[in-house]
Structures are given as structure tokens and as C-alpha cells.
Amino acid sequence: MTAGLGVAAVLTPSLLGCATPEASDTVRRDVQRTLDARAAAVLAHDETAYLAHLAPEITGLYAEERRQFRNLADVPLRSWTYRVVDVDRSGEQVTAHVELRYRLAGYDHAPVTSQRQVRLGKRHGRWRVTADDPAEGSAQQLWQQGRVRVVHGKRSLVLGVDQNADRLKALADRADRAVPAVSDAWPSPWPRRVVVLAPASVEALGALLGAPAAGYRGIAAVTTGETGRAGAVPADRILVNPSAYTVLSDFGQDAVLTHETAHVATRAYTSQATPMWLSEGFADWVAYRGTGRTASQTAPELQRAVRRGAVPAVLPRDGEFSFGADADGLARAYEGGWLACELIAERWGERGLTGFYRAVGAGRTRAGAIERALVDQFGMTLELFTVQWRAYLRERLGG
């Protein structure tokens, strides 16, 4: 009986059809070679080679992949690679969990990464793609939404879908003005170039962000990118919400793009330790710097609160910056962050503000980061700074 059980245990993997580690490695290498060939075809603009790796019997696949390939035609790609992370095989079918990594020529020092789920079937000894979709929870890419139109600015690259050339050129012009304005306020190194994406609708914007569109209806633009240390930060994208951005005045549109460009500039110095009031307040401070706007013009919602005696007790919390939050409360949070940065720049100078921003971002965790930076940079506690900020709100908004 014992010997029989031992034989059964040895035979079970082959009887059940389970792949051995060696077989799995072979499949993974074969799938990687197929995807490497597709990547090379993208960079070579070789449509025939790109489509040659599709399973011809899948209805609609050829037309959809050809459409997406042509949507990319004008996008200036520096690199385009696939990395097979894992494969799940069932007979002659494979589901590959894949990272797509790409860079835009002249703009991206690090790649954008997109998680993909690629299905393949074996036909006549070759693995052919039967589906290529975003992984669950991942965002769309712009070329999946339509033909990408490209406008090159002096310091910007604008990519749009279903947008006319004049609108994209206007975005590039504003981004070109935003870059030097941000560089003048932020002395630390940054690429001094930005990429702006202009999707066709707020629904398309939500798809690019991998989030419900409802949370972004009132937001004119948003910047994507991961926080990190200098030199290790993935590429940033400024995404414009056409429905909210186009109704803004010229000043408003300039301010929005300058704000978002400030996020691009400070990304490498922003970390988990940086509170939203500082990152958003600093971006607003840069956007309004030198414009001559009064506090009443810039912080109307917070002014109404101050004048009715509802001065905030503490600096804005991260949750108050949620896009799905109450619109008036969201405005007060941004305005409170802006005035906190105004206070620092007024009392300790602009270099004091930028130095404080870097000092906070150098922290590894949120706990204690603001407190340490306030003591190190200005010799004061968070409690004392909050008292001074509340008095500053009354001074600037209470009249």
C-alpha cells in the first residue's frame, strides 16, 4: 500500500497534465519571443509584422489591433518593450501577465508601465495572440481611444484624441509658458519639459486614470506619476479634462497648466511623507506667484468661512482633497494649503519654502516628517505653525 501510494504521487503531475517547471519556462520564453517581435514591429512601424502574430480565426481581433497600431503612428516612441511576468497555461492556451513599458522620445527618462493581460493560443507550433487587454484594475492608454494627434511645443509634447489642431496647439503654448514659470520658482533640477494628454471626454479621462469619471467632472486637469527619489521617478503625464478645462478663462487655463507642471517638477522630491496641503498648496503657490491676484480672489471659499467665524482649527487633511468630496470643502482645502505656502514664503523667503518642501519629502514616512522639517528649517513646532497659519488666514481674508 505504501509503495503504491508513492507511485501514484510520482505519476500524478503527468496524469493530470500539469506542466513541469521546465515546460513552464519554455512556454514563458516562447511567449516572450512572440511579444518581443511585436514590440520590434511597433518601433519599426511595420504593420504587417505586428499583425503577423495574431490568431487569424479570432473575429474582430485583426481589425481592432490594426486600428490601435495605426492610432500610434504619429506618437514619437523611444522604446516599447514587453516583459512577461507570469504565464498560466491550459492545454494549448496561455494567459500571460505582462508589463508594457514605453518611453516617448525626448521626454521620458524613465518608462511608463502598463499592466496587460495577453492571451495566446498555439497554432502549428507557434504562439499567436488571441487577446491583449489592460489587466484588471489597470488604466487604458490613449491610443486605445482613437487616433492620436501630436503637437510639438518648444518645451512640451501634446497628445490628443478627437481634438482639433488649434486646441492642441493652444495647450502646447500654455505648457510652454508654464515650464519657465515653474523653473523660476523651483530651483531644484527637473526635466523642464512636460507631456500633456488631451482625451475626448471626461469619460475617456476616467478610463486613462482607471477610475470612475464622476470623480473628475469638476477637475480641469490632473497629473499622473509616482512619487520617488530624484532620478528614479517614472514619467509624468498631465491629463486635461476637456469639459472642465475649456470653460475656464485664459488666466484659469494658464494657472491650471502651471499648477500641474509644478507637480511634474517636484515629483522626485515628493514622497509618502508629503501631506496634500503642502504638495497642492505649493503647486497653487507657483501657479499664482507673480500674477498680482489678491487673497480674496484666490481663496473666496475660505474667505467666506473665515468671515463667518469658521477659521479651520488645523491644516487641511489629505481626505479633504478627495475629488469626490464636497466642492466647497475641496476649494477650502486647496486655498488653505496655498495660504500655508504663502505664509512660509512671506516669513522665510521663497528659498525657505522650497527648502522646506524638499526637507519634508526626504522623510520616509508621514509620521513626524512635517514636525521635523518645521523644527529643522524654521525652529518651530507644528502647533505654533498652525497658530500662525490661523492668524494669517484672519489677516489675509478677514478684512
- The reported pLDDT for the residue numbered 229 is 44
Q: Would you state the torsion angle of the CA atoms of residues 88, 80, 140, 168, taken in this order, to the nearest 10 degrees?
A: 180
Question: CB under 8 Å, gap of 24 or more: what pairs does 86-92 form?
Answer: 86/28, 87/24, 87/27, 87/28, 87/31, 89/19, 89/24, 89/27, 91/17, 92/121, 92/122
Same structural domain for residues 163 and 107? Answer: no
Does the residue 77 lie in any domain?
yes
Same structural domain for residues 308 and 395? Answer: yes
- The reported pLDDT for the residue numbered 15 is 32
pLDDT band, very low/low/confident/very high, at 46 (cuts 50, 70, 90): very high
Same structural domain for residues 48 and 76? Answer: yes
CATH number of the domain bearing residue 39? 3.10.450.50
Does the residue 5 lie in any domain?
no
- The reported pLDDT for the residue numbered 9 is 31
Number of structural domains, the chain? 3
Question: Mean pLDDT over residues 247-270, rounded?
Answer: 96
CA distance 208 to 386: 38
- The reported pLDDT for the residue numbered 324 is 67
Containing domain of residue 219, as a range?
140-264
Q: Give the pairing of strands 194-198 and 237-240.
A: parallel
Does the residue 310 lie in any domain?
yes
- The reported pLDDT for the residue numbered 231 is 42
Q: What is the pTM of this model?
A: 0.88
pLDDT band, very low/low/confident/very high, at 6 (cuts 50, 70, 90): very low
Query: Which of these ranges, 158-162, 201-205, 324-328, 350-354, has the smallest mean pLDDT?
Result: 324-328
Same structural domain for residues 214 and 306? Answer: no
Question: Mean pLDDT over residues 14-35, rounded?
Answer: 69
- The reported pLDDT for the residue numbered 232 is 44
- The reported pLDDT for the residue numbered 18 is 43
Sheet holding 194-198, edge to edge: 148-152, 156-161, 194-198, 237-240, 221-224
Is pLDDT of 217 > 90? no
- The reported pLDDT for the residue numbered 97 is 96
